Structure 1
Amino acid sequence: MTLPIKCLTQPLMDAIAEQARTSPRHRKNYNFHEHSDIVQRFLNVLQPETYVRPHRHVRPEGKSGFEFFLVLQGAIGILILDGSGEVIHTEKISATGTTRGVELGEGMFHTLIALEPDTVMFELKEGPYMPIEDKDFLQTFPLENTAEAQQWIQTWMQHFQ
């Protein structure tokens, strides 16, 4: 008999980190959920070279656009932006620091940067996952895999030095 148990182990995190290192996006998700589940639960492994285009989550009435980040390994910087793209708040979240996790409320524009290689986060948010509706991007920021995107990583990194 197979029990409905999924374990989060160091070998799993190491394997996903290896995939993130070789990914063109320099990050990799590992889902514990199915896309149709009402709760999304996943690992997000980021490398310092990854660019997360600033975005927010807005859900239909009766749903919540919150997002919860818990750092299990490494450290990330979260930048909260206003509607014009200006940084209005930053948080450093670290597996060994005083702040280990953060919940962002619905509608908050944000981006993430990995402050250490092989940073592993556990993310939790309401589902189901709808790729077209999941993110509302700040249009003033570049798409992934562009030289301009890499410049933004360097700019944002300065907030955490």
Structure 2
Amino acid sequence: MSAELFDQSLLDQLSRAARANPRLRQNHNLHTSPDDPVQRFFNAIEPGSYVIPHRHLAADKAETLLMLRGRIGLILFDEQGQITATHVLAPTSACSGFHLRPGCWHSVIALESGSVFFETKAGPYLPLTAAERAPWAPAEGTAAAATFEADMRQAFI
């Protein structure tokens, strides 16, 4: 039987990869296939990374996130795109993670460099559908997305 150990070196490597990635984030998957029944992975995210507000509609697609290092902001939205709640997540803070039920509009932003979290949700992996991407949020990779991400960041200042 073999074991994969998770040390600070792995998290450092993942953060370096996120900084080098144009999307400013990088996964380290523990599941072996997109078809696995449980998706488990580390996700490094850097300030400026735009995670389009989205929701998961399938009844079995609840999402759980636990901070390992750094700080991220969780943003919850209503159907019209108005922010309904914000939470700062950090490993040693009052709030170190979340569990979101399906249908909840949300996004995350990195509040400091080197932020890494562990995420799990039911598989198989399915790309977001049009109904799961917020119609009121700009598409990733656009100039408007950078402005939208900066606006989300203002909720934490």
TM-score after normalising by structure 2: 0.93
Segments of structure 2 that go 5 or more residues without pairing to the other structure are: none
Alpha-carbon distance in 2 for matches of 1:135, 1:76: 25
Kindly tell me the number of residue pairs found equivalent between the two proteins: 156
The answer for the alignment partner of 1:99 in structure 2 is 95
The 5-angstrom pairing of residues 85-124 of structure 1 reads: 85-124=81-120
**Structure 1 residue 4, shift from structure 2 partner:** 4.1
Alpha-carbon distance in 1 for matches of 2:81, 2:106: 9
**Structure 1 residue 32, shift from structure 2 partner:** 0.3
Q: Identity across aligned pairs (percent)?
A: 37
Structure 1's 127 and 98: CA in aligned 2 closer, same or farther, altered over 3 A? same
Residues 57 and 134 of structure 1 are in contact (CA less than 8 Å); yes or no, is this contact kept in structure 2? no
Structure 1's 132 and 98: CA in aligned 2 closer, same or farther, altered over 3 A? closer
Q: Indicate the SS of the match to 1:12.
A: helix
Residues 47 and 114 of structure 1 are in contact (CA less than 8 Å); yes or no, is this contact kept in structure 2? yes
**Structure 1 residue 96, shift from structure 2 partner:** 2.2
State which of 2, 9, 14 in structure 2 corresponds to 1:11.
Answer: 9
Structure 1's 35 and 88: CA in aligned 2 closer, same or farther, altered over 3 A? same
Alpha-carbon distance in 1 for matches of 2:90, 2:130: 26
**Structure 1 residue 5, shift from structure 2 partner:** 2.1
One-letter amino acid of the counterpart of residue 11, structure 1: S
Alpha-carbon distance in 2 for matches of 1:27, 1:118: 10
The answer for the alignment partner of 2:52 in structure 1 is 53
Residues 57 and 108 of structure 1 are in contact (CA less than 8 Å); yes or no, is this contact kept in structure 2? yes
The 5-angstrom pairing of residues 1-161 of structure 1 reads: 3-33=1-31, 34-59=33-58, 63-131=59-127, 133=129, 136-161=132-157
Q: Indicate the SS of the match to 1:52.
A: coil
Q: Residues 10-58 of structure 1, C-alpha deviation per residue, up to 9 Å, x if partnerless?
A: 1111111111001110001110002111111001110001000010011
Q: Indicate the SS of the match to 1:152.
A: helix
Alpha-carbon distance in 2 for matches of 1:143, 1:19: 23
Q: Residues 73-103 of structure 1, C-alpha deviation per residue, up to 9 Å, x if partnerless?
A: 1011011111111111111111221111111
Structure 1's 135 and 129: CA in aligned 2 closer, same or farther, altered over 3 A? farther
Considering only aligned residues, what root-mean-square deviation do their CA atoms show, in Å? 1.6
Q: Residues 101-134 of structure 1, C-alpha deviation per residue, up to 9 Å, x if partnerless?
A: 1111111010110001010010011111122559
Segments of structure 1 that go 5 or more residues without pairing to the other structure are: none
One-letter amino acid of the counterpart of residue 76, structure 2: I
